[in-house]
Amino acid sequence: MANNAPTFIKDISTCAICLDYYKDPRLLPCSHTYCYNCINQLTKSNQFTCPLNDGTIINAEGISKLPMNRTAKDMAEFLSSITQDYTSLKCGNCATNKCTYWCEKCDSYLCVTCSDNIHSQKILQNHAVVPSNQKPSSNICSDHPDEKLKLWCVTCEILVCRDCLLFKHKDHVYTSLQDIAQETKLKIKLSLQPIRENLEKTASKIHSIIEEQHQHYEATTLEIDETFQQLYTSLESRKIKLMEQLNEYRGKEKSLLERYQADINEQLKAIQAREALVQQIFNNNDSIQIMKMRKTLVDYDQTIDQQYHRIEQGCTFSKAGFNIGIDLKRIIDEYGTLKTEDIMLNPNGVQPKRNYISLNLSRPSVKNSTYQYEAQRGRGYLFQMQKPLKIRSVQLEASIHGQIAVYVVNNTGSVIKKESFISNDTTMKWTTIPIITELNTGYSILVWSPNTTGQFSYQEGDNNFRTVDQVCSIESKHADINHDLSIGEQLQLSLNSYSIRMIIDIEQ
């Protein structure tokens, strides 16, 4: 394997078993990735155990069904292409010495001697000579071999030449290769910055919380020890049982926090590797290569964004405290209990965990259907309630690849809250979009997507209000939406003859 790739890039492109770039990488349920052949070679007794000792076990018959990690595959293939071994190539002029340079004008690999001799002539001194491993990607149009790829078709999202614009891509929107490459560089470079900053902040918080947890459990241990010293003889067995229970809580919650921290560190590592990869691509100053890798990089950003949303949901851990019974003589055999408090930790901070319930707005006992999504229309529900509801998220059953937006509209038709989510899956499934706001009577929730390739699940119905529970009734609504709305924009809601499948998560 080549050794000139940055460490972060090699880490996400290298199999931990064979220590080489991935070949047919397969993704395990534990999120670790290995080469397909490596997994088979380590399978023993019809089972494969993850080498990283996380407890994941795959039966032999399930190995072939493991999904391919396409991001890892694309990264490995890209690194293999840019770390090609040029030491075995001979000079295209003398055919004797090993090549050192590539000259685009000469269209040849050259050794040092031949390159100096050829380009010593004044008329050839303006040739662009680069090291062999920095040879630019081919910029010849496959449809028009006499033309170079110098333009980007915005409509079709592919590289084109001037002749392409006269025929196959006539009347399409286009821009120059340099402009779109520069725009892509900037977009990719800035896309992960907010997530990275939040993850770094959260990682710092977790370190402090783990220390606080340690001190808390140390203090609780001391409290238990001092209490039981006074009743040592009669309560020794009970003391041991409580200490075992406390240590179990400590180990479990510390492990939970450390796993959460490990998840964040892994994503930070992936982001750093991704940034290093992007920087290496940019350093090559190869616009063709940038655009060829564009989809892979953008898809990888979306994958990281999805993983970040999972981390953003936080982890719940407990604090176990010692509680002394009231009548010690009467309850001596059951003396002392451990009181726990559930706490939510996420990138927004630490707070007591609240209980939530899910309110299914879908029509019961009605057959589901699917409908092609309309980019010009948002759909949802108008609410009539006896008391306000505090919502935490909206779930939508859909198969949309791309942006999904949720808007909360007040009783005057003004958008007062919005959240967006990037879906990276085209399968029909429930997608959760976090949105925290208070829902009052007369308010509406609408979902919208600019993508027309997906579908959503709906049920036939009518325009009447229907009761969801004892405090909430809803009416199906839709509104014309032709762009991503901003806070304060006005909407005209109309009656809708069918109901989309939606669930809202609310605080109890």
Q: What is the pLDDT of residues 206-259, one digit of tens each?
A: 888 888 888 988 988 888 888 777 767 666 777 788 888 888 888 888 888 888
Measured CA to CA, the distance from residue 329 to residue 324 in angstroms comes to 12
Strand partners, 27: 33
Look at residues 152, 404, 422, 420 and name the one whose alpha carbon lies nearest to residue 300. Answer: 422
pLDDT (mean) for 446-473: 80
Look at residue 85 and tell me whether its pLDDT is greater than 70.
no
Write down the H helix ranges in 160-231. 162-166, 177-191, 193-230
Alpha-carbon 205 to chain mean position: 21
> Is residue 359 over pLDDT 90?
no
Per-residue pLDDT at 368: 66
Q: How far is CA 111 from CA 88, 90, 161, 479, in A?
A: 12, 8, 32, 67
Average pLDDT over residues 156-165: 90
SS3 content of the chain, % helix, strand, coil (to 5): 35, 30, 35
% of the chain with per-residue pLDDT over 90: 15
Which are the contacts of 435, defined by CB distance < 8 A and separation ≥ 6? 391, 392, 393, 394, 406, 408, 417, 418, 419
Helix ranges, 352-488 (H): none
**CB of 463 closer than 8 Å to CB of 382:** no
pLDDT at 82 over 70: no
Domain range list for the chain: 7-82, 202-352, 356-507
* Size of the chain, expressed as the number of residues it contains: 508
| Closest by Cα among 505, 492, 499 to 381 | 499
| Residue 382 pLDDT | 93
Handedness of CA 32, 276, 403, 309 (dihedral sign): positive
Take residue 476 and report the two structure tokens written for it: 């199906």
Query: What pLDDT is attached to residue 65?
Result: 87
Compute the distance between CA of residue 37 and CA of residue 506 in angstroms, rounded to an integer.
47
How far, in Å, CA of 480 to CA of 375, rounded?
9
Look up the pTM and report it.
0.36
pLDDT digits (tens, 9 = 90+) for 431-442: 888 888 999 999
SS3 category, 463: coil
Res 2 pLDDT > 50 = no
- For 39, 47, 115, 416, the CA distances from 61, given in Å and listed in that order, are 12, 9, 57, 52
Q: How confident is the model at residue 412 (pLDDT cuts 50, 70, 90)?
A: very high
Token digits of residue 433: 């979009």
Q: Which CATH superfamily is domain 7-82 in?
A: Zinc/RING finger domain, C3HC4 (zinc finger) (3.30.40.10)
Least confident span in 300-304, 370-374, 431-435 = 370-374
Domain at 356-507: CATH code: 2.60.120
- 306, two tokens: 């999805």
Range scoring the smallest mean pLDDT among 2-6, 99-103, 376-380? 2-6
Q: Which amino acid is at 101?
A: Y
In whole angstroms, give the CA distance from residue 9 to residue 26: 18
Mean per-residue pLDDT over the chain, rounded: 82
Whole-angstrom distance, CA of residue 469 vs CA of residue 482 = 33
Q: What is the pLDDT of residue 108?
A: 86
Q: How confident is the model at residue 348 (pLDDT cuts 50, 70, 90)?
A: low
Per mean pLDDT, which of 68-72, 463-467, 502-506 is the most reliable?
502-506
- 84 pLDDT band, cuts 50/70/90, is low
Residues 352-360, mean pLDDT to the nearest whole number: 74
User: Phi/psi at 145 (nearest 5 deg)?
Assistant: -55, -20
Give 189-210 pLDDT, tens digit per residue.
Answer: 776 777 777 778 888 888 888 8
Average pLDDT over residues 325-335: 61
Please report which confidence band the pLDDT of residue 423 belongs to, taking 50, 70 and 90 as the band edges.
confident
Alpha-carbon span 12 to 280, nearest angstrom: 15
Residue 3: pLDDT over 50: no
Of the given ranges (91-100, 305-314, 344-353), which has the lowest mean pLDDT? 344-353
